[in-house]
């Protein structure tokens, strides 16, 4: 069974501007917290290196014009007790602003130990990451509009 973490926020910008920003898959340093660097791999892939040294490869899975962006992650360096990790951003108009929803879908590994790690820390950490990522995007637009 997939675990789901989701958080939403209102971004003070029109949908078209938010879509232009989030659909630029090479823009991880402005969209994701604690990014040290991003290296593009072709048109639909990137390697993201975080400030703690952890590295993930992300591949774009789906891009629906002006509404949805979905990607998958493969851990490259550093241990994460997860598999089949996917991220998704959905946007819809909210008056002159945009409602942005950031979600993670994932499975745990290591049987009961992975399940317990999820209950104790992983779920909480991914929720914090999702919330910080949405706030970072919101903050990016705040001085612009």
**Residue 129 contacts residue 28 (beta carbons within 8 Å):** no
* Helices of type H across 23-122: 28-31, 111-117
Q: pLDDT tens digits for 95-132?
A: 999 999 999 898 888 788 888 888 898 889 889 989 99
Residue 103, judged by CB atoms within 10 A of its CB (0-12, 13-18, 19+), counts as: middle
Domain hosting 48: range is 3-141
Angstrom distance (rounded) from CA 72 to CA 38: 16
Count how many domains the chain has: 1
Residue 52, judged by CB atoms within 10 A of its CB (0-12, 13-18, 19+), counts as: exposed
Q: pLDDT tens digits for 21-64?
A: 998 877 777 788 888 888 989 888 999 888 888 888 889 899 89
The CATH number of whichever domain residue 43 belongs to comes to: 3.30.530.20
Q: Model pTM?
A: 0.83
């Amino acid at each position: 069974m997939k675990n789901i973490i989701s958080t939403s926020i209102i971004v003070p910008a029109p949908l078209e501007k938010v879509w232009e920003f989030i659909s630029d898959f090479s823009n991880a340093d402005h969209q994701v917290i604690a990014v040290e660097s991003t290296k593009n791999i072709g048109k639909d892939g990137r390697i993201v290196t975080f400030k703690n040294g952890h590295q993930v490869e992300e591949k774009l899975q789906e891009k629906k014009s002006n509404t949805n962006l979905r990607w998958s992650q493969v851990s490259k360096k550093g241990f994460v007790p997860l598999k089949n990790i996917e991220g998704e951003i959905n946007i819809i108009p909210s008056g002159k602003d945009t409602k942005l929803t950031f979600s993670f879908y994932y499975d745990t590994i290591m049987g009961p130990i992975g399940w317990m790690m999820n209950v104790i820390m992983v779920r909480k950490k991914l929720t914090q990451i999702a919330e910080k990522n949405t706030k970072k995007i919101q903050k990016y637009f705040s001085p612009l509009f």
